[in-house]
């Protein structure tokens, strides 16, 4: 990208990736995620008109209006965004699809659709803006609240947590990552890699709710998350079109080559972690949860998946663009069908 001209490879400025002003509470983690999306897509040089933004219902689902105004957006039904996004990618495989959901939207009402979208390996970036609480209905627990976490009014959550990442890995997601809305650099690297990945990329981003879930006793407060955030590795992203000019720091470093030729670089921090090992990923997520550690980074990656449109083996042009010439089987075919029905 051309930093001097404040333009990306398409000659677009960051403003071309902006959206409407946020109407969320001041300091909401979701706004940091929005900013990271704008930055990542701007730096990547994603054609904004190709972006289709999807969401369900909830605070998180309001955010697609806050970024990439030049892309179409669809704020659908609570928990059912996956099916809408799936339909859109089938109709137009050229779209760049990003879905924004929340923990209620994904892990409660939308659990079924989330699972099946992962199973189908829909080629999209799916962000769970996870604050462990229902913000828009004023602070009830969500299913991603940790057991023992405390509500603002004092109730303690007795139920075990649903972990969207371990669920994603289990269901065969090919890209699973966790991040923290306070770690802008990590979020941007992961968002870029998720975009470059062909297939379902699940990003569970812990995003504290400043109004209803930021108090002592909450395991999703800024203070708690900051204290317990353990990045698995330091991430860097090299776009396919860029020269390799990343400075190699001390420590072990590995690269993951993504489908479009981009690379995600992972520099080892304090532990060995292989994100391509499914069993190890499951174990690490589970153990860290038990220790109340919030591990962040690329948790699982698999380059062997086949995305839905490839599985459906549809023609290269978007299905919507086909007209009579392509779709009408004609009189002769109907004549034969009639003949077979006598």
303-323 burial: b if 16+ Cβ within 10 Å, else e: eebebbbeeeeeeeeeeeeee
Q: Does 241 bind other proteins (CB under 8 A)?
A: no
- How many residues are there in the chain? 342
Q: Does 158 bind other proteins (CB under 8 A)?
A: no
* Residues 157 and 149: beta-carbon distance below 8 Å: yes
Cα-only R_g, the chain:
21
Q: Round to whole Å and give the CA distance between 324 and 114.
A: 35
Residue number with CB closer to other proteins (56 or 231) = 56
DSSP labels for 259-271?
Answer: TTS-EEEEEE-SS
The CA-based dihedral angle spanning residues 293, 112, 157, 285, taken in that order and rounded to the nearest 10 degrees: -10
Residue number with CB closer to other proteins (95 or 200) = 95
Q: Does 310 bind other proteins (CB under 8 A)?
A: no
Closest distance to other proteins from the beta carbon of 72 (Å): 4
User: What's the first-to-final CA gap in the chain, in angstroms?
Assistant: 66
Closest distance to other proteins from the beta carbon of 12 (Å): 11
Report the relative pairing of strands 96-102 and 124-130 from DSSP bridges.
parallel
Which residue matches tokens 């976490």? 149
Residue number with CB closer to other proteins (66 or 175) = 66
Residue number with CB closer to other proteins (243 or 324) = 324
Q: Does 7 bind other proteins (CB under 8 A)?
A: no
Backbone angles phi, psi at 155, to 5 degrees: -65, 145
Closest distance to other proteins from the beta carbon of 237 (Å): 25
Looking only at residues 52 through 71 of this chain, which bind other proteins when binding is defined by CB under 8 A? Answer: 52, 54, 64-65, 69-71
Per-residue mark of binding to other proteins, 16-45 (x: CB under 8 A):
------------------------------
The CA-based dihedral angle spanning residues 245, 251, 257, 258, taken in that order and rounded to the nearest 10 degrees: -90
**Number of residues in contact with other proteins, rule: CB under 8 A?**
60
Residue number with CB closer to other proteins (3 or 341) = 341
Q: Does 73 bind other proteins (CB under 8 A)?
A: yes
- Which residues would be at the binding site for other proteins (CB under 8 A)? 47, 49-50, 52, 54, 64-65, 69-77, 80, 82-92, 94-95, 112-113, 115-116, 120, 312-316, 318-324, 326-331, 333-335, 337-338, 341-342
């Amino acid at each position: 990208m051309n930093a001097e001209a404040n333009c990306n490879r398409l000659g677009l400025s960051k403003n071309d990736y902006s959206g409407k002003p946020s109407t969320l509470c001041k300091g909401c983690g979701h706004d940091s995620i929005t900013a990271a999306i704008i930055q990542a897509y701007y730096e990547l040089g994603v054609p904004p008109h190709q972006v289709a933004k999807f969401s369900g219902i909830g605070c998180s689902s309001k955010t697609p209006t806050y970024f990439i105004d030049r892309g179409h957006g669809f704020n659908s039904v609570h928990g059912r965004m996956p099916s809408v996004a799936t339909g859109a990618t089938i109709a137009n495989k050229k779209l760049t699809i990003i879905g924004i959901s929340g923990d209620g939207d994904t892990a409660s009402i939308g659990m079924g659709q989330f699972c099946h979208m992962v199973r189908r390996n829909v080629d999209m970036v799916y962000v769970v803006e996870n604050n462990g609480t229902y913000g828009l209905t004023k602070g009830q627990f969500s299913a991603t609240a940790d057991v023992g976490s405390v509500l603002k009014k004092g109730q303690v959550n007795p139920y075990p947590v649903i972990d969207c990442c371990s669920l994603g890995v289990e269901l065969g997601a090919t890209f699973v990552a966790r991040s923290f809305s306070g770690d802008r650099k990590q979020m941007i690297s992961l968002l870029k890699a998720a975009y470059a990945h062909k297939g379902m990329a699940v990003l569970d981003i812990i995003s504290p709710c400043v109004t209803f879930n930021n108090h002592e006793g909450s395991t999703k407060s800024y203070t708690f998350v900051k204290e317990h955030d353990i990045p698995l590795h330091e991430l860097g992203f090299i776009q396919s079109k860029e020269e390799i000019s990343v400075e190699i720091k001390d420590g072990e470093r590995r690269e993951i080559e993504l489908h479009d030729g981009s690379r995600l670089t992972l520099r080892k921090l304090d532990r060995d972690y292989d994100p391509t090992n499914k069993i190890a990923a499951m174990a690490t997520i589970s153990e860290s949860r038990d220790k109340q550690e919030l591990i962040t980074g690329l948790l699982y990656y698999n380059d062997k998946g086949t995305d839905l449109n490839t599985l459906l083996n549809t023609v290269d042009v978007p299905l919507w663009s086909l007209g009579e010439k392509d779709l009408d089987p004609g009189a002769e075919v109907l004549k034969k069908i009639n003949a077979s029905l006598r």
